[in-house]
Amino acid sequence: MAAPVFAVLGCLTLDSVVTASGDRFASVCGGNALYAAAGMAIWERRVGIVTRAGSDYPEDCLQPFEDAGIALSGVHPRLDQPGLHVAFAYRRDGSRTHGLAPEVLAAIPAEERSVFVDDTHEEDRYLAFTPRPSDIPAPWMADLSGAHLPQLRWESQASLARALRESRPDLRITLDAWHVAAGQEPADGLLEDVDAFLPSEDDARRLRPDRSAPEAARDFQALGARHVVIKLGDAGCLVRTAEGATWHIPAYPAAAIDPTGAGDAFCGGFLVGLHETGDPVQAAAFGTISASFVVEQPTAASVLVVERSAAIARRVDLMGRIRQVSSGGHGVRR
């Protein structure tokens, strides 16, 4: 198996989801590491996952990824403890809640309710299944071109980013929002170590209350991120480039089944696109297309059947609808 060119360092979870239409998906193989890897794999199969797997995470969750050539030597089983479980409930506006409100839980048959739990708020459990710098396979570092850090506690993101940057100063590093209290800044210049910061609109609002998405993007860039992308769900995303230009990329129309993992898949596709083009606007188109395939599939593994040629066709269609919002560049990216 070829050494990975891109890596994601995140978590594995068993996801139980209630969609806005009331459909239920129980104990689905998930996690931000899995979905980000799937988003990368649409464009490039030389991908590696760094994570810690709980004793109850089914082996067959990872088998399709291994079969597809994804490097799993960075997956470290924890056989002494069950892993992380997530419960989401989606609203019709696309937003979601962690955990289920009593009225949502009451609508689920009693015999199914036990799996609709969310234990990611349990600090010791969460940290037990968060990757450490020592979990990164040393042989990977020579060939890596980029690494993505999905949502983790900010201390974990900082230690991973620092280890990656010290090992490979030229490595492209992308980062999703960190878990902190509203408005709290990252410590130790976290954003100074990343090439692109990729929060959702909800996370941008949490970190920058009372700021619009463009204003929040400027704030995050002032903290050191070279490029900032704010994911807007069904409205697409907003990209602020290093030169200060702002662009809007619409969402690609998809026959959505379940939006779980779309943001992580976006981040995975973005990293590959940034490496291939050097352009954050074009990279966001890669990410948008990755997300479009994920929402159409019931699991992360289902996305692995997508051919790059199909993704390219969607990307070509999307590029003509990208628009500049503020100055710093010219026209529409082609």
| Residues ≥6 apart with Cβ < 8 Å to 83 | 12, 13, 14, 52, 53, 54, 55, 56, 57, 129
Under DSSP, the state recorded for 251 is P
pLDDT exceeds 60 at position 330 = no
Verdict on whether the full-model pTM lies above 0.95:
no
Give per-residue pLDDT as tens, 84-107.
999 888 887 767 777 788 888 888
| Residues whose CB is less than 8 angstroms from the CB of residue 96 and which lie 6 or more positions away in sequence, other chains included | 88, 89, 90, 259
Residue 286, C-beta contacts closer than 8 angstroms, at least 6 positions apart: 43, 269, 270, 272, 273, 274, 276, 277, 311, 315
| Residue in the structure block whose two tokens are 């109850």 | 56
Buried b (16+ CB within 10 A) or exposed e, 96-107: beebbeeeebee
Domain boundaries, the chain: 6-326
> Region 22-41: what's the mean pLDDT?
92
Helix count and strand count (H, E) for the chain: 10, 14
Single-letter code of the amino acid located at 303: V
Q: Residues 174-181: what's their mean pLDDT?
A: 83
3-state helix, strand and coil shares in percent for the chain, rounded to the nearest 5: 40, 20, 40
Eight-class DSSP state of 226 = S
pLDDT score recorded for residue 259: 84
In whole numbers, what is the pLDDT of the chain averaged over residues?
91
- pLDDT by residue (tens digit) across 4-31? 999 999 999 999 888 878 888 888 899 9
Distance, CA of 165 to CA of 50 (rounded, Å)? 16
Query: For the segment 54-85, what is each residue's pLDDT rounded down to a tens digit?
Result: 999 998 999 999 999 999 999 999 988 999 99
Model pLDDT for residues 229-285, shown as the tens digit of each residue: 999 999 999 999 999 999 999 999 998 888 889 999 999 999 999 999 999 999 999
User: Residue 198 above 90 pLDDT?
Assistant: yes
Please list, residue by residue across 296-312, b when 16 or more beta carbons sit within 10 angstroms of its beta carbon and e when fewer do.
Answer: bbebbbebbebeeeebe
Span 6-326 CATH architecture: 3-Layer(aba) Sandwich (3.40)
SS3 287: helix
Q: Token digits for 325?
A: 């919002």
